[in-house]
Structure 1
Amino acid sequence: MPPPGTSSGVLVTRPEPGLSETLAAVSAAGWVPYASPALCITAHTLRALPPRFAACVLTSGQAVQAAQAALPSTCPVYAVGDRTAQRAQAAGFTAVESARGDAEALAALIIRTRTPASGPLLLLSGARQGMELAGRLRHAGFRVVRRVAYTARPARQIAPDVLRALRAGEISHSLFFSSESAASWLAALPETYRDAACRTTAIVISQAAAVVLQKAGWTQSVVARKPNAQAMLAALGFCPEGWS
């Protein structure tokens, strides 16, 4: 619940998939959520792929749709976090493991549990993402086929109800799930609302996202203890099980 005397509004800048469930979790914690996705996601159809992969590597739940369309349900899946793993299971994949962390944890899990001799890995990520993960796996001896599963484009505008709530001081916290989304949301924010936004407490998934906001004039930022949605919600005093 919000502390006494604190505005109860929470800005959620996460795109779908993930936005709706985050809004529901924020509401369940006693806050008033405001949806303001910073990115617009476009799914990609994968071009021709080799006939078999030893496993599929998912860096985001936004890549599950492409995996479902391209791979048999029996293909082992390695997911960056629990929510991505749950989405893969809901899509029908029968052998799913979660790294419960970030790309570094995902690479460590794969290196620990598989061998390069088992066959190539299919890495599905967003545009301009996943290169470092692919590099680490290749350095460990794995053959990695990387494909762009979706494109994230900056939102062009922010909804009038969000701007009104910011100006009225009804939003006390803002959730940012990546440095890219923080920069994109700021780019869409009219300059006349910048001061009001900067007065909210930002809860961010990484130090990189905090730096983006600090450069924009944010005065208070809280970096989640772990790079996942569960830790971000925990900063609001709510920690639903199985989140990331």
Structure 2
Amino acid sequence: MRPRGVIVTRPEPGLSETMAAVADAGWLPLASPALVVQRYTLRLPQKLPAAILLTSGQAVSAVVVAAQQAKALDMPVYAVGDRTAQRARDAGFTCVKSADGDARALVSLLQTHQQPEQGSLLLCSGARQGVELAAWCRQAGFKVMRRVVYAAKPIQKITEQTRTAIQAAKVAVVLFFSAESAASWLAALPEAEQKRLAAQARAVVISGRVADVLRNAGWHDVHIAAHVSAAAVMEVLGLYHV
């Protein structure tokens, strides 16, 4: 019998919905998040920003609490990707636009809908993230305040359930959603099991940067999604038969 296991290395938010999508496609999902997310409290400045920029769905929970406290859920929100935009809408923001997964496109979106004289932009991101986007926005004439609202720390150990599935050759596919999480996940997996997994399973990744991490670790069967989105990763998985 062909292996049906699909390891999902995505942390929450996003892990549960990806697990459900994998199961709906007929596979056996295995939760193995690569990162542990620590969230920080955000307080909006007394003079509210003209708009909020979101680089990840991880930032939404802190931002919505701050916006609720300031009664500012009608503030314009610009998200890099569609899923982050949808999470912002689901959380209660009423004016949300998406750049379809492209940070450069987000700057163009801002130039179309915002004017620098309207006020500063609040960029909410993870630790060590969003710096390049902030620089691009400043080059376009916007004043940007960057706030770190979460930190993603590498896991130290792969779950026993995942390791057992690898040892029993029950894994067909591993899904990776960022270069950082791929590197963290592989670092936590013993070398012998890394080699075994690379030989028995294909990797489906969200971008070329993630593919580079895996290929440098010895993976050969690596498939890159057409777009930088979780939906595009699932589209690649859908090409394979259970």
Bin the TM-score by the shorter chain: over 0.9
> Within 5 A, what are the aligned runs for 1:34-53?
34-46=30-42, 49-53=45-49
Name 1:59's counterpart in structure 2: 55
Seen in structure 2, the aligned counterparts of structure 1 residues 187 and 50 have a Cα distance that, compared at 3 Å, is: farther
CA-to-aligned-CA distance 1:144-198 (integer Å, 9 cap, x gap): 1000010000011111111111111111111110000000001110122111221
Name 1:28's counterpart in structure 2: 24
- One-letter identity of the residue aligned with 2:48: R
CA distance, structure 2, for counterparts of residue 156 and residue 221 of structure 1: 24
> Within 5 A, what are the aligned runs for 1:153-192?
153-192=153-192
CA distance, structure 2, for counterparts of residue 48 and residue 105 of structure 1: 25
> Within 5 A, what are the aligned runs for 1:180-219?
180-199=180-199, 200-219=201-220
Regions of 4+ moved over 3 Å:
none
CA-to-aligned-CA distance 1:119-144 (integer Å, 9 cap, x gap): 11100000000001000000000001
State the identity as a percent: 53
> Within 5 A, what are the aligned runs for 1:68-87?
68-71=64-67, 72-87=72-87
State the Cα distance separating 1:38 from its structure 2 match: 0.2
State the Cα distance separating 1:47 from its structure 2 match: 5.3
> Within 5 A, what are the aligned runs for 1:93-108?
93-108=93-108
State the Cα distance separating 1:8 from its structure 2 match: 1.4
Query: Is the 2:107–2:140 Cα contact (8 Å) retained in structure 1?
Result: no
Tell me the secondary structure at the aligned position of residue 235 of structure 1: helix
Query: Is the 1:111–1:137 Cα contact (8 Å) retained in structure 2?
Result: no
1:11 to 7, 14, 19: 7
Tell me the secondary structure at the aligned position of residue 237 of structure 2: coil
CA-to-aligned-CA distance 1:83-120 (integer Å, 9 cap, x gap): 21121112111111111113222222222222212211
Query: Is the 2:126–2:150 Cα contact (8 Å) retained in structure 1?
Result: yes
State the Cα distance separating 1:48 from its structure 2 match: 6.3
CA distance, structure 1, for counterparts of residue 19 and residue 108 of structure 2: 31
CA distance, structure 1, for counterparts of residue 197 and residue 209 of structure 2: 19
Q: How many pairs does the alignment contain?
A: 234
CA distance, structure 2, for counterparts of residue 51 and residue 167 of structure 1: 56
Tell me the secondary structure at the aligned position of residue 157 of structure 2: coil
Deviation larger for 228-237 or 43-52: 43-52
CA distance, structure 2, for counterparts of residue 81 and residue 191 of structure 1: 34
Q: Provide structure 1 residue ranges, at least 5 long, that are not aligned to the other structure.
A: 239-244
* Cα RMSD (Å): 1.4
CA distance, structure 2, for counterparts of residue 189 and residue 105 of structure 1: 36
State the Cα distance separating 1:218 from its structure 2 match: 0.6
Query: Is the 2:44–2:66 Cα contact (8 Å) retained in structure 1?
Result: no
- One-letter identity of the residue aligned with 1:186: L
Tell me the secondary structure at the aligned position of residue 64 of structure 1: helix
> Within 5 A, what are the aligned runs for 1:101-140?
101-140=101-140
